[in-house]
Amino acid sequence: MYILKYQKRHFLKVFLLLVSSLYLAQGIAQNKKMLVEQLNKRGEAYVLIKLPDKKTIYRLNKVVSIDRESTLRKNYVYAYVSKSQFDEFNLLGLDYSVQTAPSLKLAATMCPDLTSVKNWNCYPTYNQYIDLLIEFATNYPNLCKLDTIGTSVTGRLIPVLKISDNVSLDEEEPAFFYSSTMHGDEVTGYVLMLRLIDYLLSNYQNDARVKKLIDSTEIWINPLANPDGTYSSGNTDITGATRANANGIDLNRDFPYPGNENSPYQKETQDMMSFMEKHHFILASNFHGGAEVVNYPWDTWSTRHADDDWYIKISRQYADTAQANSTGYMTDLQNGITNGYDWYPIAGGRQDYANYYLHSRETTIELSSTKLPDASSLPAFWEYNYRSLLNYIDRVHFGIYGKITDTEGNPVRAKISIENHDADSSEVYSNPENGMYYRMIAGGTYNITYSASGYDSLTKSNVLIGDDEQIRIDVVLEKNVSSVPFAQIKQVNNPFGNSLNLNLYLEKNTDKIILSLFDLSGRKQKEYSLTNLFSGDNFFSINTSGLSKGLYLMKISSKQFVIQKKLIKN
């Protein structure tokens, strides 16, 4: 009797396991089917993924775009999966469920005409957006200039506005950059940036603070960095906007990072890199949605940025000011701020690219927990944020700055490094066009070294500065006689295409120099021998058609000198 009861129990247990396995297999098959349907319909799918352990997030990060952690279910994250990622994601064998995409949870209220856009309680169509930027430039020709970063994969323009008191000139002023919505379905910043442009221009004559900012800063604003994602449903509606661009690529995972500098970057990424390098931005931020927090470097590494204290201070200032003008807003993670890696690590983000490769300073600001908020709430988001937006621009003026020239008064591109402080590319460089440099830093006492190829280095010791102070230190560097014959790159097409055109100035005749191109991991990709060079200007056009697109280090060397410069190939 006992044996019969045991056999019955065992049979029942096996039966339940088989049924459970069957339901599990059916569930997996159903999830996979829904995922494929979403990918075929929209090009990307929004999924909730269970993480079996902490290490899985690192594997997952290399395959899909993690969006955020689940606030309701522990060890779950939301992520976007694109068509190109499907096979690799499927191989991970993770437990997931397909969710409603954030941009499909609400039908966006679109503006009926251009006039209504400036009520700031509806979303502009793509054509209204372009027309509004044209209107700004037309109505304020002395303060505002319309420019273009480039075009999207499908050919949509990616405009940018420059705002300055002498907008047609490149002045000796720090360049500042705001950019929004590189994730096409995160649209709060899109409208806030349009309203910020309007606020700055319309208040220049009657607001002393606005006037001071515009008179002392080159302000660049790009409201929409991914138009193909935002208007994936067509130019007249943003409902159903996608995170990725038209090729299904997350643009905030598409930038170079050490060990991955020569990927086939998207057109939007290539154009953005070229634009940012050209304008030598001192301070920047890019705006996102899905949380309410200021995210500061690094995103890719657990090590802290050399200016971690300074980053915490400016992030805290933004969040505190937003909190003071709202209720329960901008309080995520560490009460409204977070180190990027502490939140969740990513690679290929624009923030780390700007900080590491361009020696700039940039944060990522998440403006709204809802990616596509009801348009009626947009005026409230403006009220919460506009003071913080102005304060953040103003931060570019605090710290150590000045002009670096040679003994004849010519501008010099020099490295400005802080002794026993700088690390991981945190040093800054002066603008080669005018010699101006800006070193934002937390209060303290520092030894600052100024160095440039062909010049004797100079160190300023025990420089004391407070957190909210501005100190000007102009520096004259003397040519190093050991570097004669002195060489200088007077002109180079950067970014370059299938030919690299170079004007190299030499003080004396030189028999031979070597021009080498390295990728940023240090691997030599090309080497050219240039002979019979004369004093004065020497012009070269070098075939580079065999090189992949990406970032390169150009090294020009002889027995007497070495010159290095970072270049981008489009």
Cα(374)–Cα(450) distance, integer angstroms: 51
Measured N-to-C along each axis, helices 378-394 and 188-202 cross at an angle, to the nearest 10 degrees, of 60
Cα(369)–Cα(234) distance, integer angstroms: 25
Q: How confident is the model at residue 505 (pLDDT cuts 50, 70, 90)?
A: confident
CA distances, 173 to each of 176, 216, 218, 484, 499 (Å): 9, 6, 6, 33, 33
The confidence score (pLDDT) of residue 220 equals: 98
Both tokens of residue 200? 């700055």
Q: Write the DSSP string, 203-254.
A: TTTT-HHHHHHHHH-EEEEES-S-HHHHTTT-TT--TT--SS-TTS--GGG-
The confidence score (pLDDT) of residue 546 equals: 83
Q: How confident is the model at residue 296 (pLDDT cuts 50, 70, 90)?
A: very high
Cα(169)–Cα(424) distance, integer angstroms: 33
- Whether residue 389 has pLDDT greater than 60: yes
Average pLDDT over residues 160-181: 95
Cα(559)–Cα(293) distance, integer angstroms: 52
Ordered strands of the 458-465 beta sheet: 428-429, 415-418, 444-451, 458-465
172 is catalytic: no
Q: How confident is the model at residue 14 (pLDDT cuts 50, 70, 90)?
A: low
Give the residue, 251 or 561, on which the prediction is more confident. 251
215-230: per-residue pLDDT in tens?
A: 999 999 999 999 999 9
By mean pLDDT, which of 140-144, 163-167, 508-512 is the weakest?
508-512
CA neighbor of 223 nearest in space, from 85, 346, 389 = 389
Pure H helices in 286-377: 308-324, 332-335, 340-343, 350-356
Residues in contact with 520: Cβ distance below 8 Å, sequence separation at least 6, in sequence order: 256, 258, 261, 357, 551, 552, 553
Average pLDDT over residues 306-321: 98
Q: How confident is the model at residue 491 (pLDDT cuts 50, 70, 90)?
A: confident
Q: pTM value?
A: 0.82
Q: Write the DSSP string, 277-297.
A: HHHTEEEEEEEE-SS-EEEES
- Whether residue 552 has pLDDT greater than 50: yes
Q: How confident is the model at residue 9 (pLDDT cuts 50, 70, 90)?
A: low
Half-sphere exposure of 472 (CA within 13 A, CB side): 7
455-474: per-residue pLDDT in tens?
A: 999 999 999 999 999 999 99
- Whether residue 3 has pLDDT greater than 70: no
Q: How confident is the model at residue 507 (pLDDT cuts 50, 70, 90)?
A: confident
For 556, other C-beta atoms within 10 Å of its C-beta total: 20
The confidence score (pLDDT) of residue 23 equals: 45
Average pLDDT over residues 532-557: 85
Of 366, 383, 433, 469, the catalytic one is 366
Tell me 540's DSSP state. Answer: E
| Domains identified in the chain and CATH numbers | 2-99 (3.30.70), 114-397 (3.40.630.10), 400-477 (2.60.40.1120), 484-569 (2.60.40.3080)
Which residues sit opposite 541 in a β-bridge? 501
Q: How confident is the model at residue 12 (pLDDT cuts 50, 70, 90)?
A: low
Which residues sit opposite 80 in a β-bridge? 46, 65
Measured N-to-C along each axis, helices 378-394 and 308-324 cross at an angle, to the nearest 10 degrees, of 140
34-80: per-residue pLDDT in tens?
A: 898 889 888 899 999 998 887 788 788 888 988 877 766 778 888 99
CA distances, 168 to each of 163, 165, 435 (Å): 10, 9, 19
**Terminal C-alpha separation, the chain:** 81
